[in-house]
Structures are given as C-alpha cells and as structure tokens.
Structure 1
C-alpha cells in the first residue's frame, strides 16, 4: 500500500519551469523590471488620487482601488515567481499554494466587480448627471467598494474550501503558479461537485458582472444617440478608459479560462506560460497607463507634480 504522504503530498511542484542556464539572470532582471514597473505605475496613480483633493470624487476613488487591487494581485504572484526563476527546485508547500491560489483568484474577482461598479458610476454620471452627486455619496461609494470586495469572496471561499478537502494522487502542476483547476486535476476523488460549483462560480462572478456592464453601456449608447455631439464627445472621453480596461481584462480572463479547457500535455508549455503571464502582467500595467494618460484630470495633476519637483 502507498503511504498517506504519497496519496496526499504536502507540497506541489511547478512542472513548467526549466533550466534557463545563462539566460536565468536575464529573465530574472526582465521580470523584476516588469514588477517594479507595475508597482511604480500603480503607486503613482494611488498617490495622485490620495494627495489631490480635486480627485476625491467617486470615479477617481474607484480608479485608486483598481490600482490597489493590481498591487494585491501582483504581490501574490511575482515574489514567488522571481524566486522560482533563480531556484533549481520549484516546490511550493500545500498551504502556501492555496494562499497563492486565493490571492490570484480574488484579485481577478475584485478586478471584475470593481469594473462593474465603475460602469454603474458612469451610468449615473451620463444618464442622470443632475442627480449624480446626490446619488453617488461617500456612503454609497464605500458600500459599493465593500460589495466589490465581498462579492467574489462569498463565491470563491466555498469553492476553495472544496479544493482543500480533496485527496491528491500527484503533485506536479502544469502551471507557473497555483490555480484551482490545475490543483483539482490532481485529485484522486470524484470532482463532480467541484466542477458544478466552478461553473456556478464562473456564472456568478464573471458572466453576471459582464452582463451588467453590457446593460449599462447599452443605456449609455441610447442616451448618447439622443444627445448632442458635444455630449457624446464628453461621454466618450470619460468612458473610453473604462471600455479599454474592460476589453483588456476580458481578453485576459478568456486566455486564463481557455487554459483550463485543454489538457496541459496537449499545449505548448511556452503558450501556457505566456497566457498565464498575460493574465497577471498586462492589466496591472495597462490600468494606470490608460487612466493616467487618458483622463486629463489625473494627467494634469501628475504633470503639475512633476514640474513642481
């Protein structure tokens, strides 16, 4: 009989990492530069919104929280990833694997709910401008932010709990970080409940918010069609960064979900690595750049601060 340890290993191994040889330092430096860029770009937006009183408005508060979430998700991936690049072994303890899984998945869930809340904010600002400040009070903003954080946790918490109770027959993960599906695939048990729960979680935490975003923009388009060209120009200016962020994040989510639909042995490891990195690198870098460069209010404050220095 196999021992209990072989049936339920206390650690997992990332099988996609390989020996980079002389290129190891180059890859490490490149990834460290990307991580530092993510931190710097998001911190600039956060400090800009926090320090300038003219930006203490709902839209900019939501942008600030979006950047905070990018820092949260990056912190759950990059430190460990940088260690793995330099290491000859790529083992991760079972508890830390589930912690990383929780951070990465809640980062994605928070990102989508924050973008949904921002869509509601744009809906009120464009369709009901006279009632905007009476509706989007500080209290409502805080309630929406709490909702954006708790909504994905409520669904993902039970989902991850089911995964932690499984018994595993293997420990090789065909990924460069821990994901729920890659871990569940190693289970010796029937995972039907996990699969059904996963479909429900995907419906509630991904597709439901996206349908609401589509609804808000349908209402905005209807209002814009009935309005003047000047009004449409202002609406486009405020909505374009959000639309770009939504499209970019949806592409990232599609890439990530597509990985769970195929057997890892049938996909080129480089493609798996690139799609995984796209999910965790592109949105955290593009969000501060899109909002920092597209919104004149934020761009003006940043340029003013740079000139003062």
Structure 2
C-alpha cells in the first residue's frame, strides 16, 4: 500500500478578503465564463450551420473553440462554487481530474494551433496541391490525433501522479495541476522528473514545427502581393492566437517553477489563470472579427435574430 495516498482531501489556495470582495470576484468570474461560452458557441454554431465554412481552417477553428469550452469547464464551475461557499477543498480524485482536464486542454490547444499553421503553410506555399493534401478525410484524421495525443499523454501523467504517496495537503494555487500534486509527495521520484520532461519535449517539438512553417510562409509571402494579402487575412489571426497562448502558458509555467511569495496573492491568482482566461476569449474574438466569411456569417445570423 505504499503507493496509495492516505490523504483524501486537498486544500486549495483561497481568495482572502471580506465577503463582499468574494462576491465581486464571483460576479466578474461568472461574467467572464458567460462571455467565453457566448463567443465560443457562436463560432462553433456558425461553423456547423454554414456548409460553406466546412473547410479545414474553419474545422480547426471550431475544434479550438470546443477545446476552449472543455478546458474552462475544468476550472470555472469549481472555482465559482468555492467563491460562494468559502470552502476551498477538493478530493484527491477530483484534483487529479481537474489537473487532467487543464493539462490536456492546454496540449490540445497547442496541437490544434499547429494543425492550423500546417494548413496555412499548404494553402500559401503549395496552393496547387492544397485540396489534394487537405482532404476532408485527412482533416478528420488530423483532428482525431490532435485530441488523441494530448489525452493519451496526460492520461499517463495523471496515472503516474495518482500513484504518489502524499504527506501534505496544501496546494498553493486555486486549481490543481500534476506538478502541484507531485509537490505534495512524501519523497521525490524519477516519475516527477520524467513526466514534466516528456511534456516539455511535446511542446518544444510543436513549437519547432510552427517556427519552421512560418519561416516558409513569410519567405513565400514576401514574393507575392497576393500571398501577403492571404497572410494578413488568415495567418495573422492564427499568429496572434498562437502568441497569446504561448505567452500565457509560459507565464504560468515560469510562475509555477519560480513564483515569488512576495507577489500579492491576488496578482498570483491572476497569473495562475491567465491561460484559462485570456485565450478562450481572445481566440474567437480575433477570428470572428478578422476572418471575413466568419464575420459575415455571424452578422447574418444576428440580423435574422433581430428581424
């Protein structure tokens, strides 16, 4: 029984302050969550309803929005409940599940953004073979593996983390991660080093592929005014979403490893939730306003609602 945790409940870091402060944070958090649902569901419904949007770029965008809802569902409901109840505890199993959802959503986000980079590379650098390369069957296979790989990778990490014997119960974050749980282990293990290293390799490999794609994209776009127009219309939104995601994720990862206790608690909490707050709002906004066909479809849909 050495690998079985004897601690059933874990304590999460809490918002300090009077009840009125917690109610204000609750209202703002609920508003953010509603905005996330509204924006992402709008993009998803527009893509599904309009058959002219059943193209690789929009299919990938739809999955990006679905993943945004999936990832935020692992944090917001629990956090909103904690704000109302004032009790910031979670079961060991629930903590593992939350960590799995947040980790897998982050990995899936990166995988889908990589597919979008590949799609733009083929569309601009190899336009003559685009439709033969990005067939519907191939797009569905790519989407399937973009979900399967993160879910499988995070499943292994979660199963490994669940085997740690815990001697502490306080997590210094407002949500659970595998790294935070491993910090509660009675003794360090080789798994606590291998799993993060494997995850970093996953992100680094994806990052190198994106850099490679954009090097070719920029080189190709410099030779043609038409390609420059395509880049500004379809690649710029993707690049902005990618940069937003990477900055937020790196900020969180660096804070986890090197966070300072001298930083105010509220600032620590904000830094911790950046990657589940900013990208799910920014992604649909950027694509909704920048992609002309998507914007026109949303405007038509809203116009019909007002008739």
Q: 1:169 aligns with which of 167, 170, 173?
A: 167
Distance in 1 separating the partners of 2:153 and 2:71: 18
Is it true that 1:99 corresponds to 2:90 in the alignment?
no
Aligned residue for 1:125?
123
Hey, which bits of structure 1, 4+ residues long, moved more than 6 A? none
Q: 1:291 aligns with which of 287, 294, 304?
A: 287
Q: 1:88 aligns with which of 74, 78, 86?
A: 86
Q: 1:221 aligns with which of 210, 218, 232?
A: 218
Cα distance, 1:267 vs. partner? Answer: 4.5
Spell out the pairing of 1:34-183 with structure 2 (5 A cutoff): 34-183=32-181
Cα distance, 1:263 vs. partner? Answer: 5.5
Cα distance, 1:111 vs. partner? Answer: 0.1
TM-score (norm 1): 0.94
Q: Per-residue displacement from partner, 1:215-261 (whole Å, max 9, x unpaired)?
A: 00011112122x22232122221101100000000011111101221
Asked whether the 8 Å contact 1:184–1:191 carries over to 2, the reply is no
Q: Secondary structure at the match of 2:168?
A: coil
Asked whether the 8 Å contact 2:15–2:22 carries over to 1, the reply is no
Distance in 1 separating the partners of 2:9 and 2:156: 22
Cα distance, 1:8 vs. partner? Answer: 2.5
Q: Per-residue displacement from partner, 1:107-140 (whole Å, max 9, x unpaired)?
A: 0000000000111110110011111111111110
Aligned residue for 1:279?
275
Q: Secondary structure at the match of 1:240?
A: helix
Q: 1:175 to 1:279 in 2, by over 3 A?
A: same
Aligned residue for 1:269?
265
Q: 2:193 aligns with which of 177, 186, 195?
A: 195
Is it true that 1:186 corresponds to 2:177 in the alignment?
no
Q: Secondary structure at the match of 1:13?
A: strand
* Structure 2 residues not aligned, in runs of 5+: none
Structure 1 range deviating more: 185-194 or 26-35:
185-194
Asked whether the 8 Å contact 1:123–1:220 carries over to 2, the reply is yes
TM-score (norm 2): 0.94
The number of aligned residues is 303
Cα distance, 1:266 vs. partner? Answer: 5.2
